[in-house]
Chain A
Amino acid sequence: MALLELKGIRVRYGNVEALHGIDLSVEEGEIVTLLGANGAGKSTTLLTISGLVRPCAGDVLFDGRSLLRIPAHDVVRQGIAQSPEGRRVFGTMTVLENLRLGAFSVRDKDKCEKTLEWIFDLFPRLFERRDQLAGTLSGGEQQMLAIGRALMAQPRLLLLDEPSLGLAPLFVRSIFETVRNISASGVTVLLVEQNARAALKLASRGYVLEVGNVVMHDTAQNLLADPSVREAYLGG
């Protein structure tokens, strides 16, 4: 059984349908990437999984159970955390306060402290800046914080929405390296990326979204080799 399964998800914003029936599945332990042009519906898909956007048809199953009847704030307690598009760190709070809020749903204090140590290992920069206001961090540091904050929930499934957006190439490489480490520690990852080549090198499988439809899904290797994917997303 897949860890996460989307079945025929349709999402409407007002009168406009943004997702026209998405099917997608993620197995435990995988890194799966979701590719697509601007406005294809990638962020909408992730927000639907987290319950911030409600579909008008279809179902989201996590561990075989539907998430649609659960309020958004309980989804994270099921084991799904998200680092959202635009990072959305709490700017007027410190780095440490942001991280602790990430663990808002976790009751076990000792485990929290261990996770915090692990996150400071992954991102030593966050440790150095733990008392700084999140809004004053650089873009790359904010991205680290958004990922670290999501990890504080000790999720089984981590949703990452464009973690490399707006970062310098060196930073991008280190973020992708970190995603690999996170995955190696046993967290399943669903990764939305503009940087298709890097994402496909990291992932085992990928989905390609075009204006609200899944137009292709395959192993990452096959997608990397596919002429139409190369044409549209890998710059020829």
Chain B
Amino acid sequence: MEQFFQQLLNGLAVGGIYALVALGYTMVYGVLKLINFAHGDLFTIGAYLGLTLLVSCNLSGILGPAAAVLAVFVMVALLVALLGCLLERAAYRPLRKANRLSAVVSALGASIFFQNAVMLIYGARFYVYPDYLRPDFTVSLFGMAVPGVRLLVIAASVLLMLALWAFIQRTRTGAAIRAVAIDQGAARLMGINVNRVISLVFFIGPGLGGAAGLMVGIYYGQIDFTMGWSYGLKAFTAAILGGIGNIPGAMLGGLLLGVIEALAAGYIAIAWKDAIAFLVLILILIIRPTGILGERTADKL
């Protein structure tokens, strides 16, 4: 029983990270119907940027580990968010009216560009987040000793998701994002500046992705320049699982994928966890091709 709950919590932590990255894929897909293949690499950049700020810029020495991690969390999110906006301007906006394939090629190109840039700047080896950055307290929960960092990662991702959900559902700007995802022309008739909304989506998505990269660094302690590929694929899977374009779907898909993987790793074999995760994806897509929450209501014309 204890093993089950530990795996469950571990799965929620990893799943929260998948969910944060998946949100970037799904939100961009929502407004542009484009898979931003460079999103995984923005996540990688978040992980490296975090390390640079914490260690090379010695923010953890200046502020102390806990405050530094918090400050860097915000800084990384903002910097990667700006990079996301820049990416949209440079690689996607000029191709907005071109055919879809051009944008896909541009996305792949941007992904290769970012991955190589990270490799050239940092080198092709893995990096280690120093141990002292990792909160090392444990919490006893129902008689189990749970690593504090696990709970913090869960809390951070859940908090970010709730904040995003409130923003999308409760604010005027959030409504504008939803409207642009449904019908850009009609949104413009309402007076919504579609370009500004798209920029905003390319700010929020990469911001969350970058923050997730930092969280991986702190949670696992190790990063490398190809991590965007594996996590990106998982997060993309999570977005499909929940229904691409659907925001709560990405959250649910991410958490679900994380938990399935962790349980598979715990009860079957670590080597099988990816295979089982994709098996679940295939099964769900056979039963519900639109993903779990995809297209809840059909639009009537």
Mark A residues whose CB is within 8 Å of B.
Answer: 50-52, 71-74, 76-77, 81-82, 84, 86-93, 97, 100-102, 104-105, 133, 135-137, 139, 142, 149-150, 153
Contact = CB atoms under 8 A, between A and B. Distances in A.
Contacts of B172: 100, 104
Given A76-B190, A137-B300, A153-B190, 17 more contacts: A73-B190, A73-B191, A81-B189, A88-B183, A88-B185, A88-B186, A90-B183, A90-B186, A91-B298, A91-B300, A92-B299, A93-B175, A133-B297, A135-B298, A139-B300, A150-B189, A153-B191
Contact of A135 (B176, B188, B190, B300): B300
B189 A50 contact: yes
Nearest to A91: B299
B194 A86 contact: no
B182 interface: yes
B125 interface: no
Contact of B192 (A52, A73, A87): A73
A89 B189 CA distance: 11
Interface string B185-224: 1111111111000000000000000000000000000000
B298 A90 contact: no
A90 B179 contact: yes
B141 interface: no
Contacts of A88: 183, 185-186, 189
Contacts of A52: 185, 188-189
A87 B301 contact: yes
B97 interface: no
Of listed A76, A84, A90, A150, residue having the most chain B CB within 10 A: A90
Contacts of B298: 91, 135
Contacts, number: 83
A135 B299 contact: yes
Interface of A is mostly: mixed
Contacts of A149: 190
B224 to A, nearest CB: 40
Interface string B284-301: 000000000000111111
A50 B187 CA distance: 12
A84 to B, nearest CB: 6
Nearest to B193: A73
A186 B131 CA distance: 71
B188 A105 contact: no
Nearest to A74: B191
Nearest to A101: B190
A73 B176 CA distance: 12
Given A90-B179, A101-B175, A101-B176, A76 B297 contact: no
A100 B178 CA distance: 13
Contacts of A77: 191
